[in-house]
Structure 1
Amino acid sequence: MEQTKLGSFIEACINTAIGFLVTLALTPVVYPLFGHAFTLSQNLGISAIFTVVSIARGYVIRRWANARIRRAAYRLARAQRPTGHKES
């Protein structure tokens, strides 16, 4: 079954939202380990930028993968057709 563009977008958003929450939780621990400290406002701004990029990345990858799977299924179906079979 092919995933719709809306389904791809929703999947990318849910995946990224989970990542956003994990990032917000880890940032106060990880950044200081590398000598950086950010305010909550700065952390939210930085995370928002990466979140937008992540949603776009997830959507593009999902659509690309979906197209590849569909082409592979089509090729497989054509290969499984008995010889001499004509398309209607």
Structure 2
Amino acid sequence: MKQSRAMSLVESIANVIVGYGVAVVTQILIFPIFGLHTTLAQNLKMGAIFTIVSITRSFALRRLFETIRARRS
């Protein structure tokens, strides 16, 4: 079954929203171990940047693999 572009984007966004929460919590816990001290606002901003990059990457890869699959069919 072929997944539409819109559903690919929705799935990617849902996946990244969960990842965003995990990333921010991980930053809060791990950064101090490496001597990095950031505020919650800074962690949220960094998480937002990583989220945008992640959505773009995930969507592009999904579309690439869908194109490969379609060509083989």
Normalised by the length of structure 1, the TM-score is 0.78
Which 5+ residue runs of structure 2 have no aligned equivalent?
Answer: none
Which 5+ residue runs of structure 1 have no aligned equivalent?
Answer: 75-88
The C-alpha deviation readout for 1:27-63, integer Å capped at 9, x for no partner, is 1111111110110010111110110110010000000
What is the RMSD of the two structures over their aligned residues, measured on CA atoms? 0.8
Q: Report whether the alignment pairs 1:6 with 2:16.
A: no
What's the offset of the Cα at 1:64?
A: 0.4
| Aligned residues with identical type, % of pairs | 36
Rg larger for: 1
Partner of 2:38: 38
Normalised by the length of structure 2, the TM-score is 0.93
Aligned pairs, number: 73
Runs of 4+ more than 3 Å apart: none
